[in-house]
Amino acid sequence: MYPFVISLRNLRLARGAKVLIESATLQIHPGWKVGLTGANGSGKSSLFAMLRDQLHPDQGDLDMPPGWVIAHVAQETPGLAQPAIDYVLDGDAELRRIEAELAAAEAAHDGSHIGELHARLHEIGGYAARARAAALLDGLGFLQSDIERPVADFSGGWRMRLNLAQALMCRSDLLLLDEPTNHLDLDAVIWLEAWLRDYRGTLLLISHDREFLDACVTHIAHIEQQKLALYTGGYSDFERQRGERLIQQQAMFERQQRDIAHMEDYIRRFRAKATKARQAQSRIKALERMERIAAAHVDTPFSFAFRDAPPAPDPLLQIEDGAVGYGDKTILERITLTLRPGERVGLLGRNGAGKSTLIKLLAHELQLASGRRLEGKGLATGYFAQHQLETLRPDESALQHMVRLDPQTREQELRDYLGGFDFRGDGVGGTSTPATTPCGPFSGGEKSRLALALLIWQRPNLLLLDEPTNHLDLEMRHALTMALQDYEGAMVLVSHDRALLRATCDRFVLVDGGRIQPFDGDLDDYRDWLASRRAEVAAAAACPDQAADKAARKADRAQAAADRQARLVARRPLVKELEQIDKRMAAWNKEKAELDAKLADPALYTGPQAGEVPALNKRQAELAERIEEAELRWLELHEALEAIPAD
């Protein structure tokens, strides 16, 4: 067998009477990074629980490599007085065990054991563990001043980040991550993506972020109709392969249906004829034994569109030289922003820079501390934020929320509308969320869908969305993306879902350093900008006196950048010409080598091609001359490039 492979053999997994996975057989090899996908409720989290030995298969076998350390993100975080960095360090269980044993050995003056423990501490990188924990916290958006704060001081979302950091701190063989980006913003998602690419263990990742999956995984394990299938590649590769498989399945289904119809027609016509009865019975038995192919289908329960918005003024909203904050603390100042009908604006910026503050200001949930706010006549704002999920009435159903919002509309029309968000029926059968069930026990995804449904019904001409995809699965994210693309109003969006940002935003605004400014670039440029900012922060941390000469160093950097740009401009045509010469020389050398070999063959001069010899000699001489000239120019270009430093 394979002692270091996760192996599923003919596995069946159920929760109560509901079968989640049937007849699953696959292997996951060490170092693989596997994205686990499937509809909500298909069994992804149950599969994770089985890998952690919290659930057991109802049938078949699950073999795990012996001795593997498994890390996962805890769902609850107690309100501890323990500093955040110490909480993260607890993720390395062996480190904590060695530290405890070391303290006991020192108290007992056991020199031999002390030496052994220090040797092991060195082997596992224990002396650098605190720096590693601090780097994890920094990557996940915590400030330097946060790392010594008690865990109890942090809100629920930040405690989930602490749990994620603790899981990453574990020196694990298998890392299980269930929607790790839900409580992260874009800069933390980009950092986590890079960390997971460098992770050396085996990764199983549940995520509804297609770009995150594409960047992190090498395989996709997809659960569909109780079947678990393994695909090679990222999520985009999986979509292509699955599409091809569905096309093939549909073709096989249609062919089988034609065969079945032909056999049934034969049976109907000839079963009563004595001369054909045996053949008819044979076909009846063949039909009974036939393994039926299911029709291929890709069901998505979501189908909705924005209702026509009222006529929009131009401009919709203006902020002039504004400032906003909380109490006496100013978060953003000198805000100048104009929103026009149809504009699609994405807000970018590091965690804590003020993106949500700006959205709240635009939504009129925060007032300007100074400056002017000018609203166009007829402005209708729709605002979505995660805290608004808490305003849903837990004792009321999705339908009751809609009736409360619009009591004049017929109930059937409201039911039809809710069906597009997968709130259907009265709870009799099916997998949809009943439209008449109180929303108190709803999952985060169900609450988000209901909040979006309520928002869209109100026909806003300015849409303000702060992380609308949290808790939404891939199908709902796709439906939202399609709806936003067709939406004719203006939109301001904060999201860590890059696929949504790329598909729906026409321009980006950067929130940084208490100011807002246009960002001239795409999300790849923003990733590079984040990397440069992290490098600046790291350099500042390494040089505590950096602030004293910050202005001078900034000027030096600007001058250095200008010099680099000038050198780049000077080098570019030389490099381009050099590349062209390399290509031409490669082709000429290849042709000349072939001519040399041909002319060296005595048979050429006595065979039917003897008349071509003069032309071949002439071409050989031409090539030799061209190659010599190109080599001289190649040397000149290299000398010129050496005189212009690359950096």
Q: What pLDDT sits at residue 548?
A: 47
Encode pLDDT of 89-131 as tens digits: 999 999 999 999 999 999 988 888 888 998 999 999 989 999 9
CA distance 545 to 552: 13
Give the class (CATH, top level) of 570-643.
mainly alpha
In degrees and rounded to multiples of 5, residue 242 shows phi and psi of -65, -40
Task: Give the other-Cβ count within 10 Å of 143's Cβ.
Answer: 11
Q: What pLDDT sits at residue 1?
A: 44
Residues 336, 515 contacting (CB under 8 angstroms): no
In degrees and rounded to multiples of 5, residue 167 shows phi and psi of -65, -40
Which of 315, 307, 472 shows the shortest CA–CA distance to 406? 307
CA distance 93 to 113: 19
**CB neighbour class for 110 (10 Å; exposed up to 12, middle 13-18, buried from 19):** middle
Give the class (CATH, top level) of 317-392+442-535.
alpha beta
Helices (H) and strands (E) counted in the chain, each on its own, are 20, 18
| Residue 12 DSSP label | E
Q: What pLDDT sits at residue 251?
A: 73
**How far is CA 553 from its chain centroid?**
36
Which of 511, 508, 510, 513 shows the shortest CA–CA distance to 554? 513
Q: What pLDDT sits at residue 323?
A: 93
Annotate 300-338 with DSSP letters as a single string. --B---PPPPPPPPSSSEEEEEEEEEETTEEEEEEEEEE
| Residue 366 DSSP label | S
Q: What pLDDT sits at residue 429?
A: 40
Which of 150, 178, 155 shows the shortest CA–CA distance to 81? 150
Tell me which residues of the chain have a pLDDT lower than 50.
1, 296-297, 427-430, 547-548
- Judging by DSSP bridges, how do beta strands 381-384 and 462-466 pair with one another? parallel
Task: Give the other-Cβ count within 10 Å of 500's Cβ.
Answer: 24
Which of 572, 597, 568, 585 shows the shortest CA–CA distance to 634? 585
Q: Could you check whether the bond before residue 341 is cis, i.e. omega within 30 degrees of 0?
A: no
Encode pLDDT of 243-267 as tens digits: 777 677 677 767 777 877 877 777 7
CA distance 157 to 149: 15
Model pTM? 0.71
Encode pLDDT of 594-629 as tens digits: 888 888 888 877 778 878 888 888 888 888 888 888
**What is the 3-state composition of the chain as percent helix, strand, coil, each rounded to the nearest 5?**
50, 20, 30
Q: What pLDDT sits at residue 347?
A: 95
